[in-house]
Amino acid sequence: MSGRGQPAAFAPGTPVRVRLDWPETRGPVHIRTPHYLRGKPGTVVRLLGAFPNPEDLAFARPAEDRPLYHVAFAQDALWPDGRRGDRVLVELYEHWLEPAP
Partner 1 sequence: MRMDTDTLRAHHDLGGVSKFLCEKVDIEPHALTDFDKEVDALRQILGMKRVVSVDELRRGIEAIPEDEYHRLSYYRRWVRSLTDNLIRKGVVTEAELRAALDRA
Binding site for partner 1 (CB under 8 A): 22, 24-25, 28, 30, 34-36, 38, 54, 57-60, 78-81
Residue 22 beta carbon to partner 1: minimum distance, rounded to whole angstroms: 5
By C-beta, is 1 or 60 nearer to partner 1?
60
Query: For residue 62, which amino acid is it?
Result: P
In the chain, the amino acid numbered 84 is R
State the minimum distance, in angstroms, from the CB of residue 54 to partner 1.
Answer: 5
Amino acid present at 94: E
Cα–Cα distance list, 70 to 38, 39, 76, 80 (Å): 16, 17, 18, 23
To partner 1, the closest distance from the beta carbon of 56 in angstroms equals: 8
List residues bridging with 93 in a β-sheet: 68
Nearer to partner 1, 13 or 80 (CB): 80
